[in-house]
Amino acid sequence: MKKETIIKLLPYQAPFLFVEELTYISENGVKGYHTFKNDEYFYKGHFKDNPITPGVILTEVMAQIGLVCLGIYLLKDEFYEIKKPQIALTSFNIDFFLPVKPKERVEVVSEKIYFRFNKLKCNVQLFNEKNELVCKGTISGMLKLMDE
Amino acid sequence: MTRKELITSLKKIIKPYSQNQEAFKNLSEGTDFINDLKINSANLVDIILDVEDEFGIEIDNESMEKMLSVKSAINIIETKLAES
C-alpha cells in the first residue's frame, strides 16, 4: 500500500491530524514526520505567553504515525476501499527529554514489538530537526477494520 | 499438571490485569474476564501472550475468541498441552 493512501485512510482531520508525511513503512516499522504550525490552537494555553508543544500532543504524534499508520499498513487487504480503521489507544509509557517549540519539525521512528489478536504494541521515538531525542516509549492500541 | 495447579498459574497471570479485586479474590472457574474482572480487550491479549509463555503453547485466533472466562481458558490450555 502507498504511504499517501495510508494518510488518506486516517480517521483524523485538522486541527488533530498530526501526520505530514511518511518516509518509510514496512511490516516491522514506520518513519514519518510532522511540522507544528506557529498558530496551533494549543499554543494559546500551553503555556501563557510561552508556547511549548504539550506532551500529550507529542504522544498523539507518536501514536498517529507510529501506531495508527503502521496498524493500517498491517491490516490492509485488497478490500480496503470499503473499510475504515477502528482504533483505540489502550496504553502508553513515554519519557520526555526536550521541549518542542512552534514551527519545529519532528520525526517519529516506530518499531513493532508485536501485532497479535488486533493489539499492536510499538517502541516509538521522536526526534527534533537536530536529530536529538525528544521523547521515547511504548504505545499500544487495538485496531480493526470496519465495514462502512 | 492438575486443574487446580493450572488455575493457580492462571491466577498469577491474571492478577496484574484484573480491575475488580473483589471478583479476583473470589475467582472460580465461572469467573468471566470482562464482566467480572473488568479486564479490557488489550489486557486480554496480554493475558493470552503470558499464557503462551508460561505454558509453552500457541493460542490461535479461534481459541483466543473463546478465552473469555477462567473455565474456557483452562479448557483451551489443557487441550493445547495435550496436543504438544
Cell of A35: 511540522
Measured CA to CA, the distance from residue B38 to residue A81 in angstroms comes to 35
A80, pLDDT greater than 70: no
Inter-residue contact B9 to B81 (CB < 8 Å): no
pLDDT of residue A146: 73
Contact (CB<8Å) B42/A90: yes
ipTM score: 0.88
Residue A141 with chain B: CB contacts under 8 Å: 42
Span between the terminal Cα atoms of chain B, in Å: 14
Among the listed residues A96, A127, A101, the one whose alpha carbon sits nearest the alpha carbon of residue A42 = A101
Is the minimum CB–CB distance between B42 and chain A shorter than 8 Å?
yes
Q: Which domains does chain A have, with CATH numbers?
A: 3-147 (3.10.129.10)
Measured CA to CA, the distance from residue A55 to residue A24 in angstroms comes to 24
- The three-class DSSP label of residue A110 is strand
* Owning domain of residue B70: 3-83
Each residue's pLDDT tens digit, A45-75: 999 999 999 999 999 999 999 999 999 999 8
CATH number of the domain within which B22 lies: 1.10.1200.10
**Cβ within 8 Å of A, B 47-66:** 48-49, 61, 64
Span between the terminal Cα atoms of chain A, in Å: 20
pLDDT of residue A55: 97
Domain count, chain B: 1
Is the minimum CB–CB distance between B41 and chain A shorter than 8 Å?
yes
Contact (CB<8Å) B41/A140: no
Measured CA to CA, the distance from residue B67 to residue A55 in angstroms comes to 37
Among the listed residues A43, A92, A28, A102, the one whose alpha carbon sits nearest the alpha carbon of residue A63 = A92
Residue B61, min C-alpha distance to chain A (Å): 7
> Has A34 been annotated as catalytic?
no
Residue A117 with chain B: CB contacts under 8 Å: 44-45, 48, 61, 64
* A41 contact partners, CB below 8 Å, separation of at least 6: A15
Contact (CB<8Å) B42/A116: no
Please report, rounded to a whole number, the percentage of residues in chain A having pLDDT higher than 70: 94
Query: Which letter does DSSP use for residue B32 in this model?
Result: B
Question: In chain B, helix, strand, coil percent, each to 5?
Answer: 65, 0, 30
Q: pLDDT-based confidence at B68, cuts 50/70/90?
A: very high
Inter-residue contact B33 to B23 (CB < 8 Å): no
> Please, where are the H alpha helices in chain A?
3-9, 55-62, 70-75
Q: Taking the model in full, what pTM does it have? A: 0.92
Q: Report the 10 Å Cβ neighbour count for A133.
A: 14
Q: Answer with the residue of higher pLDDT: B68 or A78.
A: B68
Maximum alpha-carbon separation in chain A:
49
Q: Which residues pair with A91 in a beta bridge?
A: A140
